[in-house]
Amino acid sequence: MTMQLDSKIPAGPLADKWTKYKSTIPLVAPNNKPRIEVLVIGTGLAGAAAAATMAEAGYKVKAFCFQDSPRRAHSIAAQGGINAAKNYQNDGDSVYRLFYDTIKGGDYRSREANVHRLAEVSTSIIDQCVAQGVPFARDYGGLLTNRSFGGVQVRRTFYARGQTGQQLLLGAYSALSRQVGKGAVEMFNRHEMLDVVKIDGVARGIIARNLITGELERHFGHAVVLATGGYGNVFYLSTNAMGSNVTAAWKAHKKGAFFGNPCYTQIHPTCIPVSGDHQSKLTLMSESLRNDGRVWVPKKIEDRLKDPLTLSEDERDYYLERRYPAFGNLVPRDVASRAAKVACDEGRSVNKTGLAVYLDFKDAIARDGKDAIEARYGNLFEMYQRITDENPYERPMRIFPAVHYTMGGLWVDYDLGTSVPGLYAAGEANFSDHGANRLGASALMQGLADGYFVLPYTIGKYLSTQIRQPAISTDHPAFAKAEKEVEDRLNRLANSSGTKTVDEFHKRLGKIMWDNCGMSRNAEGLTQAIADIQDLQKEFWANVRVPGGTKEFNPELEKAGRVADFLELGELMCRDALNRNESCGGHFREEYRTPEGEALRNDEDYTYVAAWEYAGENQEPILNKEPLEFENVELKTRSYK
Amino acid sequence: MKLNLKIWRQKGPKSEGKIVDYTVDHVDEDMSFLEMLDVLNQDLIVKGEDPVAFDHDCREGICGMCSMVINGRPHGPWERTTTCQLHMRAFKDGETVFIEPFRANAFPVLKDLAVDRSSFDRIIQAGGYISVNTGNAVDANSIPIDKETADTAFDAATCIGCGACVAACKNASAMLFTSAKVAHLNMLPQGEPERAKRTVQMVAQMDKEGFGACTNTGACEAECPKGISITNIARMNREYFKATITGSK
Amino acid sequence: MSLSGLFLCTFLITHMAGNMQLLINDGGLAFNQYAYDMTHSPIIKTVSYLLYFSILLHAVQGLVLAYANRGARKSRYASGNKSSSFASRNMGILGSILLLFIVVHMKSFWFEMHWGTIGNDANGMRDLYSVVVAAFSQWWYVLFYIVSLAALAFHLLHGVQSAFQTVGVNHSKYTPIIKAVGSIFAIAVPALFAIQPLYILFKTLQ
């Protein structure tokens, strides 16, 4: 049953592929563009950038977001920065080096051609953002400055204090707003996409729910772009926003879009530890903190709860510096997270829950002064103090890894097209560029690369075939059928007369996922988790309680629909993790590790993208493989020692 | 810790609302304010009652979605803190806490504590941007911007668009929000060409949305969770005078 | 609002300074001479029309603004917000008190000076001084003055610095100075004004 996937990578030398491709793909003439309608779901970096850029090009665009404004998409919360191969620091950076670092950082599980394209357009992103008025950090000469990030030995990260995501999103939002103001984009705030409408096997529109009135709406598009972010909230606790969800991507998956590498999850090493059962989300402390903070735990278990200020240097184990001297505290995220887990598993955690290590700024403050540290990280320190009631200028921060980003997502080809014609995926919603582990400051880069510089070109290739396709009336039976299905499902949720709240199920799913499909996984746990999740799915539909009706503003109903989808996704993630009998990047299988405990890849059998195909309700999903070919980079064991 | 809550309940935009009393037990001081409301809502759902609707998303103080006025103050008692970052250690056992929506004609209540702030979007759509199509940009380092200007523009740009300024202002004025965006863009060389047009159009849209006029009470600045300064308002006033005096229309 | 307000501030200074002649112990000769000059100089007359216009403009603008701003929030908060100063929140009420004061004040003196039946002083000038003394010998009239001047103080406390903010003068270096000078002005001018009726009242009580 499995099929070979066509990634549509253009021929030719790696460095020329994109340039040549761009100059040879078919175009849509300016007079035809206004007749072509594109629906963009999600208005984060990728969605807002794509919607704005396509509208600038002349297409008729409709954009949708579930938040009350496109400016609130969760891209806004990214803190540290955005990578670009500008080499402004004259430290040997280049497009090739950014490409290489990203391939290596992703543990050789991403596509060379995609990653090279990403590195190529990275420089244009910075230019574009500065032109929009994004206030990146500058030095006294008025030029842009950079910081370093994990897994990299050059300074290529552009940043705007600890609020880079906010500033970039506001840039993309302003570009989008400009087009809305001009009437080129029609914006639908507080709308959630609940299904893709397919006609003759091609994506032709969506069913969206107006979250204020609860009314279902039909929207036609010659193409549909999903820029709906990641699915980290399947773990219940994550650094994602409360509303971040997989629903749009999952509906697309059920309509035929393959899901790529769902098990690749990034666990971010520096988050504020869980404080109690009431916890609704976890807060990230930017990776940039590891530029100056030193990670440690006490050497002796009995010292773990002692006042850290009383422990001498001899009594501390700066375990990242000890284990990875070449990169020290700036090892990639997956490595840092696992090392923290190892230290805590050894019993050396530094809080009562057993889940925390120190991130200490004592030496940085002594070296650069408190003012310098405050200028760099002031807002993060403030946030830490607000949440924990501890002063990080005086005491080391307590941190622990938390789910942060999902490298997996809808499978897309080089054009960012999914396996459903006319359906595209951009940003975190697709699986494409980060392999098994994403480097810090690369999510913003990928989101904006897709949105500004890749998708608006590649989608043109498809849309050029659509110029004779008139708009299809939303009275078409396919729309009616899809709407009916959505309505039935909503009614089923709203009419459920169970006793347990949606959150209760979500928490239970999160625990199964974290325990079995989190920082480390094994076959036994994953098998059990699949069975447990299937039970939980049944229990959910039998026993969930959703207050209120479908035709009203009903946040619990929204949440119920999302959790129902997470329950199905969670099962697929476990299946994918179980299938991948190797350790790579964020996917760490306990059975596959080196004697020193490092991840052990199996390049011979697993150098492929697992693209899962939905086979129907209660059917096992079908695994399709896209082999990854490395023509330019030699596969090596990743070492940061 | 136990709290007595007095929460504004309103079924829909056109319904009458009223304050309803609730009690929550077992409030942990490490909880955020929204987590306390989560606890209340879980109780209400189990009891078969309608949970309290409120807007929230990132819960780390940056998306600007959480709103609500707590004991008369937008985002509650802590300075420079959004509701989602407000923690329960700010309250005492047995305290009575009023929770109301942001109130302004330009922010109609949708349900309970959730309001419609799309008027802010329309102000940005009127001119809160620099007109540069994708691909038109010059090299990022071709225009140096002195650090002080860049930093001041940044300070204005950190506005999260939550609307606390409007909620706090006795006139429900949106001057702080509008001026922050005007100041951010007008200060930068990239924003120079559209300076006058931007200012005039954004102010016109702001007035059209039904926000009140600024009387410089400074409540907006005091309640802004990001510490946006009213210096921006003075700057916008300057820009506005200049634009209307020298403008062609 | 701001421009008319600032103009009225300059008037306050001259009016206050001129009225200080009430304190000269000459039976009102200097004051009456001053009152005569004020009502007969063509320059002063021109300026005074500008003044009447400014007062009316400032009052009308203020009332319209207060009404419109109140209308920008139809539903009120159940819990109060105190994150701004008393004066800044009550400019409309304070201004209304001042408007009432101006009407009474002008009836008592300005109207009398122009059209009232007033005797002459030793120099043959219309004896406005006696009218003033008669008025300020009544404690309730003085009390009304003091209350109004207190309202003026609060009005200015917010108004002066607010006017600068409105015309766009806000600078990290100069605004603290503007605020300090504004506050001194807001307290000193009404205080000096207040001395006049109090002085006369205490003198007549002796």
* Across A147-156, A265-274, B57-66, least confident range: A147-156
pLDDT at B32 over 60: yes
Residue at a domain's end among A385, A403, A421: A403
pLDDT at A370 over 90: yes
Q: pTM of the prediction?
A: 0.96
* Across A96-100, A194-198, A227-231, A281-285, least confident range: A281-285
Residue at A543 is within a domain = yes
CB-based contact C170 B231, cutoff 8 Å:
yes
Question: Do both A497 and A601 map to the same domain?
Answer: yes
Interface residue B95 vs chain A (CB under 8 A): no
Mean pLDDT of chain A: 96
Rg (CA), chain B: 20
Residue at A641 is within a domain = no
Q: What percent of chain A has pLDDT over 90?
A: 92
pLDDT at A191 over 90: yes
Band of residue A276 on the pLDDT scale cut at 50, 70, 90: confident
Residue at A377 is within a domain = yes
Residue at A517 is within a domain = yes
Interface residue B226 vs chain A (CB under 8 A): no
**Is beta strand A82-83 parallel, antiparallel or unpaired with respect to A157-158?**
antiparallel
Question: Do both A397 and A491 map to the same domain?
Answer: no
| Number of domains chain A contains | 2
CA distance linking residue A603 with residue A600, whole number of Å: 9
Band of residue A497 on the pLDDT scale cut at 50, 70, 90: confident
Q: In what order do the strands lie in the sheet with A82-83?
A: A82-83, A157-158, A146-147
Residue at a domain's end among A384, A403, A422: A403
pLDDT at A148 over 90: no
Residue at a domain's end among A403, A435, A450: A403
Q: Determine the pLDDT at residue B248.
A: 57
Contact (Cβ atoms closer than 8 angstroms) between residue A63 and residue A185: yes
Q: Determine the pLDDT at residue A378.
A: 86
Residue at A88 is within a domain = no
Q: Determine the pLDDT at residue A432.
A: 87
Residue at A121 is within a domain = no
Contact (Cβ atoms closer than 8 angstroms) between residue A588 and residue A521: yes
Preferred mutation among C2, C73, C158, C167 to probe B, highest tally of B CBs within 10 A:
C73
Q: Determine the pLDDT at residue A415.
A: 98
Interface residue B31 vs chain A (CB under 8 A): yes
Tokens linked to A35 = 């007749």
Domains of chain B listed by start with CATH number: 3-111 (3.10.20.30), 117-134+143-246 (1.10.1060.10)
pLDDT at A2 over 70: no
Among A143, A280, A547, select the one facing B51 at the smallest CB separation. Answer: A547
Q: What percent of chain A has pLDDT over 70?
A: 99
* Across A1-10, A137-146, B24-33, least confident range: A1-10
Q: Do the chains B and C touch each other, judged by at least 3 C-beta pairs below 8 angstroms?
A: yes
Segment B51-56 shows an average pLDDT of 98
CA distance linking residue A631 with residue A607, whole number of Å: 13
* Higher pLDDT among residues A147 and A559, named by residue: A559
Question: Do both A385 and A504 map to the same domain?
Answer: no
CATH of the domain at A288: 3.90.700.10
Q: Determine the pLDDT at residue A5.
A: 87
Segment B167-183 shows an average pLDDT of 97
Among B72, B105, B239, select the one facing C80 at the smallest CB separation. Answer: B72
Per-residue pLDDT of A515-556, as tens digits, reads: 999 999 999 999 999 999 999 999 999 999 999 999 999 999
The DSSP code sequence of A229-246 is ---GGGGSSSSS-TT--S
CA dihedral sign, ordered A41, A45, A48, A53? negative
The DSSP code sequence of chain B is --EEEEEEEESSTTS-EEEEEEEE----TTSBHHHHHHHHHHHHHHTTPPPPP----SSSS-S-----EETTEET-SSTT--GGG-BGGGS-TT-EEEEE----TTS-EEETTEE--HHHHHHHHTT-S----TT-PPPTTSS---HHHHHHHHHHHT-----HHHHH-TT-B-HHHHHHHHHHHHHSGGGGGGHHHHHHHHHHHHHHTT-B------HHHHH-TT---THHHHHHHHHHHHHHHH---
Segment B47-64 shows an average pLDDT of 96
Q: Do the chains C and A touch each other, judged by at least 3 C-beta pairs below 8 angstroms?
A: no
pLDDT at A441 over 80: yes
CA distance linking residue A28 with residue B133, whole number of Å: 18
Question: Do both A390 and A506 map to the same domain?
Answer: no
Residue at A494 is within a domain = yes
pLDDT at A125 over 90: yes
Question: Do both A618 and A491 map to the same domain?
Answer: yes
Domain with A562, as residue range(s), is 487-627
Interface residue B88 vs chain A (CB under 8 A): no
Question: Do both A504 and A619 map to the same domain?
Answer: yes
**Integer CA distances (angstroms), B96 to B7, B22, B38, B71, in order:** 11, 10, 18, 9
* CA triple A214-A217-A221, angle to 5 deg: 150
CATH of the domain at A596: 1.20.58.100
Tokens linked to B158 = 């950190």
Band of residue A286 on the pLDDT scale cut at 50, 70, 90: confident
Per-residue pLDDT of A58-104, as tens digits, reads: 999 999 999 999 999 999 999 889 999 999 999 999 999 999 999 99
According to DSSP H, which parts of C72-138 are helical?
Answer: 86-89, 91-105, 112-115, 128-136
Segment B134-153 shows an average pLDDT of 96
